[in-house]
């Protein structure tokens, strides 16, 4: 008998995963009324059989499991509001602090559900269901088996309680998202000073993985497209570091920079020069 799985949150991640999942799917998001997600358009996305619902309760009714794919600031609220049957697997795939995941786990456990801490360790596009996943918590083994059956190809159990997988994700993000924010600060200043080519050349001379012009273009692209969501994730990173007592000054600054650029709400133009022109015209200094 085919399993039924709910997608709670139907943004980029859910839309990337849905076509590759081997299950009957239900979905709920505040955007499910968007014409692009209407029944007669879902075939265009390869989501044949996916049923959009007008409430989380409807999407969760009778399912075997749920993938929570909401924004970071809604992860705990989604868990508290979930109306699930006893034994239902709740895969919290959101980028939030370990303490947030532990609180969400308590909420799901209070309903008799089985909570699984899932860390998505790379961009969902273009990997889709091939994206690396780390899982932890008391239901990690059952959760990993379910995710593999569902169609996820790279699932690894991290020994430990809820919060272990998310700790790896959050602390890794200090570098990944921090470099993006530092890139914006560096190239905007270099462009304003008229020394962009020289600065990029000097960076190329000291590091060789990818030309810095291409890296800067890519990082600004990610911030323009996803800065608001990344700022929410980095706010959770700050919580993580503060809980560890190791200091969070740079990560706190990354929240500000990611949020300011993401708040522009514009599609990233092609090329570094076009992105810098846009930011110089539109962005307020952080």
Give tens-digit pLDDT for 216-271.
Answer: 999 999 999 999 999 999 999 899 889 888 888 888 999 999 999 999 999 999 99
Please determine, for residue 278, whether its predicted confidence score (pLDDT) is greater than 60: yes
Q: Which residue has the tokens 């699984």?
A: 116
Q: Sketch out the chain's domains with CATH numbers.
A: 4-161 (3.40.50.720), 165-282 (1.10.1040.10)
> Which spans in 24-153 are helix H?
56-60, 75-81, 98-110, 124-127, 140-150
How do residues 87-106 score in pLDDT, each as one tens digit?
A: 999 999 999 999 999 999 99
What pLDDT is stored for residue 60 in this prediction? Answer: 96
In contact, 75 and 102? CB cutoff 8 Å: no
pTM score, two decimals?
0.81
**pLDDT band at residue 5 using 50, 70 and 90 as cut-offs:** very high
The pair of three-digit structure tokens given for residue 88, joined into one six-digit string: 């239902």
More confident residue, 52 or 5: 5
Q: Which residue has the tokens 């990337």?
A: 16
In contact, 181 and 157? CB cutoff 8 Å: no
What pLDDT is stored for residue 41 in this prediction? Answer: 47
How do residues 74-83 score in pLDDT, each as one tens digit?
A: 999 999 999 9
Share of the chain above pLDDT 90, in %: 76
Mean pLDDT of 41-55: 69
More confident residue, 42 or 28: 28
**pLDDT band at residue 39 using 50, 70 and 90 as cut-offs:** low
What pLDDT is stored for residue 81 in this prediction? Answer: 95
CA distances, 159 to each of 109, 139, 264 (Å):
20, 11, 41
d(CA 278, CA 276): 5
């Amino acid at each position: 008998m085919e399993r039924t799985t709910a997608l709670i949150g139907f943004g980029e991640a859910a839309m990337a995963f849905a076509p590759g999942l081997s299950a009957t799917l239900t979905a709920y998001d505040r955007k499910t009324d968007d014409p692009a997600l209407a029944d007669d358009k879902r075939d265009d996305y390869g989501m044949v059989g996916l049923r959009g619902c007008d409430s989380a309760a409807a999407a969760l009714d009778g399912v075997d499991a749920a993938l929570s794919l909401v924004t970071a600031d809604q992860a705990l609220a989604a868990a508290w509001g979930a109306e699930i049957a006893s034994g239902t697997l709740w895969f919290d795939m959101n980028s939030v602090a370990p303490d947030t995941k532990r609180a969400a786990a308590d909420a799901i456990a209070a309903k008799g559900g089985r909570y699984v801490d899932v860390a998505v360790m790379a961009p969902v596009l273009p990997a889709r269901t091939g994206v690396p996943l780390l899982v932890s918590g008391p239901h990690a083994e059952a959760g990993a088996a379910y995710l593999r059956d569902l169609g996820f190809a790279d699932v690894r159990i991290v020994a430990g309680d809820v919060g272990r997988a998310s700790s790896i994700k959050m602390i890794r993000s200090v570098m990944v998202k921090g470099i993006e924010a530092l890139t914006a600060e560096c190239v905007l200043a270099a462009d304003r000073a008229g020394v962009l080519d020289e600065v990029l050349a000097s960076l190329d001379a000291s590091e060789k993985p990818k030309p810095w012009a291409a890296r800067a273009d890519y990082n600004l692209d990610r911030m323009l497209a996803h800065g608001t969501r990344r700022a929410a994730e980095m706010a959770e990173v700050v919580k993580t570091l503060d809980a560890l007592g190791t200091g969070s000054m740079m990560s706190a600054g990354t929240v500000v920079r990611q949020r300011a650029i993401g708040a522009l709400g514009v599609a990233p133009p092609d090329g570094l020069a076009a992105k810098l022109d846009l930011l110089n015209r539109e962005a307020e200094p952080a």
